[in-house]
Amino acid sequence: MFKVQTVVGAIVLSLLIASAALAQQNQMTFFVTSVGSGNGANLGGLAGADKQCQTLAAAAGAGNRTWRAYLSTQGPNAVSARDRIGQGPWVNAKGVRIAANVAELHSANNTITADTALTEKGGTPTRHDMLTGSQMNGMAFTASMDHTCNNWTSSTTGSASLGHHDRRGLSDTEQARSWNSSHPSKGCSQANLASTGGDGLFYCFAAN
Kindly report, residue by residue over 167-207, the tens digit of the pLDDT: 998 788 888 899 999 999 999 999 999 998 899 999 999 99
Q: What whole-number distance in Å separates Cα of residue 137 and Cα of residue 131?
A: 15
Residues of the chain above pLDDT 70, percent: 88
CB of 86 within 8 A of CB of 68? yes
Return d(Cα 120, Cα 115) in angstroms, integer: 14
- Reported as a pLDDT band with limits 50, 70 and 90, residue 6 is low
89 preceded by cis ω (within 30°)?
Answer: yes
pLDDT of residue 143: 85
Tens-place pLDDT, residues 15-52: 444 444 544 447 999 999 999 999 999 999 999 999 99
Query: Is 26-206 a domain of CATH 3.20.20.70?
Result: no
* Separation CA 122–CA 129 (nearest Å): 18
* Residue 185 DSSP SS3: coil
Q: What is the pLDDT of residue 5?
A: 53
**Residue from 119, 125, 129, 121 nearest 41 by CA:** 129
Domain positions in the chain: 26-206
Q: Which of 78, 36, 82, 81 is nearest to 56 (CA)?
A: 36
